[in-house]
Amino acid sequence: MNQLPFVYHKKILVLGLAKSGTAAAEILHDLGAFVTVNDSKPFEQNENAQYLLSKGLTVICGSHPEDLLDEGFSLIVKNPGIPYTNSVVAEAIKRNIPVWTEVELAYRISEAPIIGITGSNGKTTTTTLIYEMLAHAHKQPLIAGNIGTVASGVAKTATKENNIVMELSSFQLMGTELLKPKIAVLMNLYEAHLDYHKTYKEYTDAKFNITKKQDDSDWFVYNGEQKIVKDYAEKSLAQKVPFYVSKKTAEGISADNQYIYWNGVELFERSIIALRGKHNLENVLAATATAILLDCSLESIKAVLQSFQGVKHRTQFVLESNGRKYYNDSKATNTLATKSALAGFTEPVVWIAGGVDRGHSFDELIPYLPNVRALVHFGETSERLQKFGEENNIPFVKKVSNLKDATSLAVEVSQKGDVVLLSPACASWDQYESFELRGDEFIEIVKALSTS
């Protein structure tokens, strides 16, 4: 772990705990900082705060006191989920106190090069593909970031022999200053998280932070077919590698209906790729380009692409039974993600949807409905989904009370050769604590039905 002399004996506030705040607080303490942690969860219910207090850190729980910043902090490290409208954060910015997220800390302490991946969609699949390709090629990768493993905790033990493959959200990237990945990947940009960022420009600017500090010793892999991404790419000083999913090109990595190309030279047949859908082809091209830049063998890249069936809950193939294929896309908590899932199939689809009603329109799904044989729905959005299905002439549309009933009915109305797809287009919180729990239940239901 790199030492950070500028934090030694400095007062630092860690705002918000959970996994990332706890890791950051402990690392800063080990680096010799005087760390205060502040979390809204009461101390009696806060295992992380209790642990940090036992380590000798100052702990303030249950509220964010108005005079908190009067301690004279040199730096704040905040949980990514805490918005910049938070009173403590807003006041810190007024006082010119630097505000980081813990990925900035991870970058500064890491001895290993960082491969950073961001975008509105495809981050997790691309991150996982890159990790698997590097692992197959014995490049000693570590995986971290928004994918579930705290970045600073991974960076703490990484060495120069490792490569840290790091999924980065806009929330995390907004709190960076010097973050400089060896390879930065920008998948795509669509409207998202505007409740946090307030404007689309603030959101996209946050994403651009992934390459903002790169120079010509680094690489920037980006979507060459999306204008807003190309516009941002022009500002990057890194060596540029665009990807194109719809045409063969002489630069970067590209695909036509038959082959994948590297700088216009055929690499391998597209048919070897196990993942379905145009959106997954973006992920494959970005991951393959990254692996090539890191000197992975073509054999390792192809081996992963032939076997990789997807990340759990993201158009994840579950099983095939009685001529039906079952896919779990519980991560599709908005229409953009469901659009990608529906577009990935040419077979007839029995679509299971529903969940929290956020009030958004389903109209962008209309071009992808011709293959939908049936729509079975549940949850808060049921009334709107019923109307949507009927107005767009889906042959069979029916409301049920829960996912188990939806899956049973979907199996009943499906035919051999069909795809049964859970792609809710809605958040899970009306009936589940998370999309993961919803997806896990779907998998269990499908497996039980296939053996009954």
Q: Is 247 annotated as a binding residue?
A: no
Q: Is 125 annotated as a binding residue?
A: yes
pLDDT at position 310 is: 80
Residue spans in the chain of domains classed CATH 3.90.190.20: 316-451
- pLDDT-derived band of residue 47, with 50, 70 and 90 as boundaries? very high
- Does the pLDDT at position 232 exceed 80? yes
pLDDT at position 193 is: 72
- Does the pLDDT at position 195 exceed 90? no
Tens digit of each residue's pLDDT (9 = 90 or more) over 432-443: 988 999 999 999
CB 83 within 8 Å of CB 196: yes
Q: Is 56 annotated as a binding residue?
A: no
Of 55-69, 185-199, 249-263, 340-354, the one with minimum mean pLDDT is 185-199
- Does the pLDDT at position 150 exceed 80? yes
Side by side, which strands form the sheet with 163-167?
141-145, 163-167, 114-118, 183-186, 219-223, 239-244, 253-255, 259-262, 265-269
Q: Is 439 annotated as a binding residue?
A: no
Q: Does domain 103-307 have CATH number 3.40.1190.10?
A: yes
- Mean pLDDT rounded to a whole number for the chain: 94
pTM of the predicted model as reported, rounded to 2 decimal places: 0.83
Q: Is 379 annotated as a binding residue?
A: no
What is the percent of the chain where pLDDT is above 90?
A: 84
**From CA 218, how far away is CA 238, in angstroms rounded?**
5
Phi-psi region of 96 (alpha: psi -120 to 50; beta: other; left: phi over 0): left
Residue spans in the chain of domains classed CATH 3.40.50.720: 5-100
Residue spans in the chain of domains classed CATH 3.40.1190.10: 103-307
Q: Is 123 annotated as a binding residue?
A: yes
Q: Does domain 316-451 have CATH number 3.40.50.300?
A: no
Residue with tokens 């990484």: 158
User: Mean pLDDT, to the nearest integer, of 370-385?
Assistant: 96
- pLDDT-derived band of residue 420, with 50, 70 and 90 as boundaries? very high
CB 418 within 8 Å of CB 349: yes
CATH class of 5-100: alpha beta
Tens digit of each residue's pLDDT (9 = 90 or more) over 66-112: 899 999 999 999 999 899 999 999 999 999 999 999 999 999 999 99
Q: Is 85 annotated as a binding residue?
A: no
Tens digit of each residue's pLDDT (9 = 90 or more) over 262-295: 999 999 999 999 987 777 899 999 999 999 999 9
Structure tokens at 29: 């303490």
